[in-house]
Amino acid sequence: MYLIRRQPHTQLENGPSERVAKVGELRAALGPLSGRSLQYCTDACLRRYLEARNWNVNKAKKMLEETLKWRSTFKPEEIRWHEVAHEGTTGKISRANFHDRSRRTVLIMRPGMQSTKCTEDNVRYMVYLLENGILNLAEGEEQMSWLIDFTGWSLSTNISLKISRDCINILQNHYPQRLAIAFLYNPPRIFEAFWKAVRYFLDPITFKKVKFVYPKNKDSLELMQSYFDMDNLPSELGGKASLKYDHEEFSRQMVEDDVKTAKFWGFDDKSSHIANGHLPQLAPLPAPLAITAS
């Protein structure tokens, strides 16, 4: 009798041909798709959902179906800058004008500049910039990096736990494998209490991508240098450049990107003034609001 040696199960699943087969299984399990759902469900998309669920086809199918349901109601691809521009006046979240060393899109978040407390508006603004960041990914790149600058952060400018939870849930459940790494730069000691509450919302995969970095820590400096060209990185984040948020200039960029978004999804922009390249009227710069954890 001959004995047949089987390769370990994990090794089989990690092979390129097995992954291609898994993508095919997931596509077959989803059944016929049409419209934006079909456009959304590229092979690369299916791979991200499979990775997020450890290549379990049934779990990935359930996760992806939930996303398709969410996208059909939330309609993230239809959000336009003029609808969310009031959330960006302080520069609390913006797309950087530089990439990391892997040519990934970089989102800069400044929680110390939080200026509004409406959960729905905050979530829509974050989703808009996630979609915009994906739109601006380099060819072949699927992930982005986050830089979270705690300059000026205090409990009085802190967003609520509800907003944090909702944003985290959307990121994890509907944008799997889109985050490469998130740097929390120089958070104050008082942030530790808030972090202890927030970390319970994170799944293990996302949690491992969160890195605390401090300006006087050698390991932190080396980690930042491994991901970013220090000449591009703002001084507030340990680099040599300056972080100057110009809301009007950023608005112009977003308006231009809105046209690209409409073209990508194959429909005419719902706002003619955007299609014609005109800026919406910008809201005045508000003072930060006192927002407490809830």
Of 174-188, 249-263, 267-281, the poorest mean pLDDT is in: 267-281
- The pLDDT tens digits for 25-67 are 999 999 999 999 999 999 999 999 999 999 999 999 999 999 9
For the four alpha carbons of 227, 229, 232 and 235, in that order, the dihedral sign comes to positive
pLDDT at 291: 34
More confident residue, 190 or 249: 249
Q: What is the pTM of this model?
A: 0.84
Contacts of 48 (CB under 8 A, 6+ apart): 142, 176, 177, 178
Cβ(70)–Cβ(174) below 8 Å = yes
pLDDT at 173: 96
Kindly indicate the confidence band of residue 89, based on its pLDDT and cuts at 50, 70 and 90. very high
For the four alpha carbons of 290, 253, 85 and 174, in that order, the dihedral sign comes to negative
Structural domain boundaries in the chain: 12-74, 77-260
Beta-bridged to residue 145, according to DSSP, are 106, 181
Domain range 12-74, CATH architecture: Orthogonal Bundle (1.10)
Identify the top-confidence range among 27-31, 113-117, 213-217, 231-235.
27-31
Kindly indicate the confidence band of residue 156, based on its pLDDT and cuts at 50, 70 and 90. low
Spatial separation of the C-alpha atoms in residues 275 and 260, rounded to whole Å: 10
The pLDDT mean for the chain works out to 86
pLDDT at 157: 66
More confident residue, 4 or 181: 181
Which homologous superfamily does the CATH classification assign to the domain defined by 77-260?
CRAL-TRIO lipid binding domain (3.40.525.10)
Residue 176 burial by CB count (10 A; 0-12/13-18/19+): exposed, middle or buried?
buried
More confident residue, 70 or 154: 70
Cβ(160)–Cβ(123) below 8 Å = no
Question: What average pLDDT does range 229-246 have in this prediction?
Answer: 91
- The pLDDT tens digits for 56-70 are 999 999 999 999 999
What would you measure as the largest C-alpha separation in the chain, in angstroms?
Answer: 82
247: its two tokens: 């809301």
Spatial separation of the C-alpha atoms in residues 281 and 268, rounded to whole Å: 22
pLDDT at 111: 87
Question: What average pLDDT does range 74-95 have in this prediction?
Answer: 95
CA 142 to chain centre: 11
CA 171 to chain centre: 6
Question: What average pLDDT does range 218-223 have in this prediction?
Answer: 93
State how beta strands 93-95 and 105-109 pair. antiparallel
Spatial separation of the C-alpha atoms in residues 114 and 29, rounded to whole Å: 43
More confident residue, 14 or 113: 113
**Cα distances (angstroms) measured from residue 157 to each of 111, 124, 148, 154, 287:** 7, 19, 14, 5, 10
Of 27-41, 79-93, 158-172, 277-291, the poorest mean pLDDT is in: 277-291
